[in-house]
Amino acid sequence: MARDLNGKVAIVTGGTSGIGRDTAILFAKEGAKVVVAGRREVEGKETMDLVRGEGGDGLFVKTDVSKAADVQALVQKTVEKFGRLDIAFNNAGVEGEWIPIVDQSEEAWDSTININLKGVWLCLKYEIRQMLKQGGGGAICNMSSVSGWMGSAGAATYSASKHGVIGLTKSAALETARSGIRVNAVCPAVIETPMGERIFGEPEMRKFALGFHPIGRFGTPIEVAEAVVWMCSDKASFMTGQSLILDGGFLAGPNPPA
């Protein structure tokens, strides 16, 4: 189904791999110009090669979303190159250390929160400023998680950051609704990405995690990308302040591992 993104300009943070990469490519396929942001230049340029391989146009901007100057420069370079900003997928994130609270260092807390939560806040701040400067209108999707809806023993910092993203999403949506800017979030369960491999790659851990997905498998990056692109298109024009759960049944009920 065509989503009418021709001529739109989209930013994708964390576009160097996984969900971000697949979303950037899909935006390009749908006709958008894509600005990919991330900390890893080699992987970012690989994403841009894939975007151009689909006939798309775009730009890679090395960005640390936890730094205000980097995020401000990202938006500025987007506007300098393409003249405007219509869409943003604030996807950059890290898993941090998955250990009990009593063993967690302050440095590990700060690192995870700075990227996963402060980073989304900074992106919203500068993206919304630009959209308002243009006269309003636009669509933003933030990356949360099923961990934004539940606690998780051993992953308190990650869970707290993703809960925070949902709160930011709702608040930003309320602040911008009358300006025609829509702000939503996507909340995946385990997805087959490098991050997912780091957390659940060990055979026993993988088997344990699969048991919480009634559908019997983990998700794929393109399944999340399809949802993000839809939420950022006019097909979702009445949707704002919402969190779309893509979890293979994870949150539908208690599903202990088999």
**pLDDT for position 253:** 78
Would you state the pLDDT for residue 196? 64
Per-residue confidence (pLDDT) for residue 257, from 0 to 100: 52
| 218 within some domain | no
**Separation of alpha carbons 218 and 253, rounded Å:** 17
Q: What confidence score (pLDDT) does residue 184 get?
A: 98
Instruction: State the pLDDT at residue 11.
Output: 98
- Residue 126 bears catalytic tag: no
pLDDT tens-digit readout, 98-118: 899 999 999 999 999 999 999
Q: Is residue 74 part of a domain?
A: yes
Classified as helix, coil or strand, 192 is: coil
pLDDT for 138 equals: 98
Q: Does the residue 108 lie in any domain? A: yes
User: Active site residue: 158, 159, 233, 243, which one?
Assistant: 158
Q: How many residues does the chain have?
A: 258
- Rounded CA separation 37/62 (Å): 6
Q: Is residue 219 part of a domain?
A: no
Catalytic residue among 8, 161, 162, 233: 162
Residue 71 lies in a domain: yes
Q: Which residues of the chain have pLDDT under 70?
A: 1-3, 194, 196, 199, 201, 255-258
Residue 111 bears catalytic tag: no
pTM (predicted TM-score): 0.94
Cα-Cα-Cα-Cα torsion 248, 44, 91, 240, nearest 10 degrees, comes to -100
Q: Which residues contact 133 (CB under 8 A, 6 or more apart)?
A: none
Tell me the C-alpha distance between 113 and 97, whole Å: 12
Is residue 24 within 8 A of residue 15, CB to CB? The reply is yes
Q: Which of 96, 149, 148, 143 lies closest to 124, judged by CA?
A: 143
What pLDDT does 132 receive? 98
Q: Specify the pLDDT at position 1.
A: 42
Distance from C-alpha of 206 to C-alpha of 8, rounded to nearest angstrom: 39
- Choose the catalytic residue: 17, 66, 144, 161: 144
Overall domain count for the chain: 1
Q: Is 237 a catalytic residue?
A: no
CATH at 166: 3.40.50.720
Q: How far apart are CA 51 and CA 76, in angstroms?
A: 21
**Which domain, by its residues, includes 235?**
9-190+224-243
